[in-house]
């Protein structure tokens, strides 16, 4: 059978693209729904859920490239004529469905890929492709926006597929013509009179997409309000007042580094910047646990099995500041999730007049605080959590 199309039949390449994409979608849609509904209460549940999503994402990326190849092939191939060009409404509907299909086959996986690229952690894409996309920053808000777009577009795709199948069955069962047979592998030819193509079908497809997004926007689906936070920590009166800083953490999840930070924390610092070794002051840091953002797993991280932010909304680190021959250390105690454990934070310090700049890093074992006890396999969630602190403080007058 010839590889290319003619005005009366589809070639082998077009048919292969058609049925390959159909098979991919047949797997993709239920797989995505099953993965979304899968529980993640235990380590085994989470590993299973991540695997389902990895399969879903990887297959979605594959369909994206197959769809692009299918569209490129269609551009340079003649399209077999409609079998009933005199049925203007039916011919228009068929053309509209095809435009919706082509667009959705690109937009659905692309929106999901952008969501994946904009966030950190959980269910990597398998294969040689990176987890990131050019011009797509790490942004929870951007990820949520494209997650909503992905959800909307997949329902447009699902409805379009239903119409496509219904039309094919109508031609095969009621009309008893060669529409369906012409797309199956074989030498079926049919159609004599070409039907004119108008701009109305692609414009109508565009109108449907805009209507879907407009309805979703009006309904508030694109309004991603942040989860309610605990009351902000009160500012402290300190000998050195923090003017800017970052309290960040990172952990390995399924072999990938997931990074996050706490937006609300305070530092009460007393410090003597005179020469000499030994104790130079002390520091007390309070952290609002609900202010944590940790990529796509923020809600899970704040849950009872991890930080348990509702029951334990604050953490406190208290330590003396000691100057050593190699630098500074804050060797103290971190109280987190109702548990105290010793923590040593080595740091560098640069004091210029009344301004001090500090950078430090500590490594904690999450198991010491009962965080993620159900995740006993470090390949799923690493035991070590790296904490990075940077701040600039001004001497109080």
- Domain total in the chain: 2
Lowest mean pLDDT among 109-113, 197-201, 283-287: 197-201
Structural domain includes residue 229? no
Q: Specify whether 78 is located in the same domain as 201.
A: yes
* For residue 126, pLDDT beyond 60: yes
Question: pLDDT per residue over 48-95, tens digit each?
Answer: 888 899 899 999 999 999 999 999 998 888 888 777 777 888 888 888
Examine the domain organization and report whether 307 and 202 are in the same domain.
no
Identify whether 175 is part of a domain: yes
Domain shared by 206 and 305, yes or no: no
| Cα–Cα dist 194/192, whole Å | 6
Q: Is residue 211 part of a domain?
A: yes
Q: Quickly state the pLDDT bin for 41 (edges 50, 70, 90).
A: low
Residues 110 and 204 in one domain: yes
Average pLDDT over residues 284-291: 94
- Mark whether 132 and 270 lie in a shared domain: no
Any domain includes 225:
no
Q: In this structure, what CATH number is given to the domain that contains residue 325? A: 2.40.128.110
Residue % of the chain over a pLDDT of 70: 92
Asked whether residue 7 is assigned to any structural domain, the reply reads no
Query: What backbone phi and psi angles, to 5 degrees, belong to 77?
Result: -120, 145
Comparing 156-160, 198-202, 344-348, which segment has the lowest mean pLDDT? 198-202
Who wins on pLDDT, 238 or 334? 334
Instruction: Band the pLDDT of 247: cuts 50, 70, 90.
Output: very high
CB 307 within 8 A of CB 314: no
Higher-pLDDT residue of 300 and 255 is 300
More confident residue, 39 or 68: 68
Are 198 and 255 in a shared domain? no
Q: What is the distance between the alpha carbons of residues 282 and 365, in angstroms, rounded to a whole number?
A: 24
φ, ψ for residue 313 (rounded to 5)?
-75, -15
Same domain, 249 and 176: no
Lowest-pLDDT choice from 78-82, 103-107, 150-154, 207-211? 78-82
Tens-place pLDDT, residues 21-30: 999 999 998 9
Q: What is the pLDDT of residue 9?
A: 81
Domain that residue 282 falls in: 240-395
Q: Is the pLDDT of residue 121 over 80?
A: no
Asked if the model's pLDDT at residue 384 lies above 80, the reply is yes
**90 and 30 fall within a common domain:** yes
pLDDT digits (tens, 9 = 90+) for 189-233: 766 655 556 678 889 999 988 888 887 777 667 765 555 456 678
Q: Higher model confidence: residue 155 or residue 231?
A: 155
The pLDDT of residue 305 is above 90 = no
Assess if residue 173 is contained within a domain: yes
pLDDT at 122 over 70: no
- By C-alpha distance, which of 62, 12, 55, 20 is closest to 34? 55
Are residue 247 and residue 211 in the same domain, yes or no? no
* pLDDT at residue 195, rounded to an integer: 55
Tell me if 4 is assigned to some domain.
no
In this structure, is residue 228 part of a structural domain?
A: no
Share of the chain above pLDDT 90, in %: 45
The answer on 298 and 164 residing in a single domain is no
Average pLDDT rounded to a whole number, residues 147-152: 88
18/120 same-domain check: yes
pLDDT at 359: 96
- 350 and 291: one domain? yes
The residue assigned the tokens 């979608």 is 25
């Amino acid at each position: 059978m010839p590889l290319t199309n003619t005005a009366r039949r589809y070639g082998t390449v077009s048919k292969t693209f058609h049925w390959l994409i159909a098979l991919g979608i047949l797997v993709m849609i239920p797989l995505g729904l099953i993965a979304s509904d899968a529980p993640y209460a235990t380590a085994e549940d989470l590993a299973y859920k991540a695997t389902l999503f990895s399969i879903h994402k990887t297959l979605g990326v594959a369909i994206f490239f197959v769809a692009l190849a299918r569209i490129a092939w269609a551009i340079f191939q003649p399209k077999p004529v409609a079998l009933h060009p005199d049925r203007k409404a039916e011919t228009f509907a068929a053309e509209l469905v095809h435009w919706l299909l082509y667009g959705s086959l690109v937009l659905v996986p692309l929106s999901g890929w952008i969501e994946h690229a904009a966030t950190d952690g959980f269910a990597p894409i398998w294969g040689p492709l990176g987890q990131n996309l050019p011009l797509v920053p790490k942004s929870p808000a951007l990820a949520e926006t494209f997650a909503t777009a992905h959800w909307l577009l997949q329902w447009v795709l699902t409805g379009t597929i239903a119409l496509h199948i219904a039309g094919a069955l109508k031609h095969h069962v009621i009309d008893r013509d060669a529409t369906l047979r012409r797309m199956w592998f074989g030498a079926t030819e049919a159609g004599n009179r070409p039907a004119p193509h108008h701009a109305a079908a692609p414009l109508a497809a565009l109108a449907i997409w805009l209507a879907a997004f407009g309805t979703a926007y009006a309904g508030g689906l694109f309004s991603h309000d942040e989860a309610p936070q605990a009351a902000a920590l009160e500012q402290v009166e300190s000998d050195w007042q923090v003017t800017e800083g970052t309290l960040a953490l990172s952990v390995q999840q399924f072999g990938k580094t997931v990074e996050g930070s706490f937006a609300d924390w305070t530092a009460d610092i007393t410090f003597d910047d005179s020469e000499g070794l030994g104790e130079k002051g002390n520091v007390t840091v309070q952290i609002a646990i609900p202010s944590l953002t940790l990529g796509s797993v923020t809600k899970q991280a704040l849950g009872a099995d991890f930080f348990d932010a509702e029951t334990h909304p604050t953490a406190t680190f208290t330590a003396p500041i000691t100057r050593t021959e190699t630098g500074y250390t804050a060797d103290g105690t971190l109280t987190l999730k109702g548990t105290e454990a010793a923590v040593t934070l080595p740091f560098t310090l640069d004091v210029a007049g009344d301004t001090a700049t500090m950078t430090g890093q500590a490594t904690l074992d999450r198991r010491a605080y009962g965080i993620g006890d159900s995740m006993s396999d470090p390949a799923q969630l690493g035991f070590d959590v790296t904490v990075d602190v940077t701040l600039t403080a001004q001497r109080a007058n």
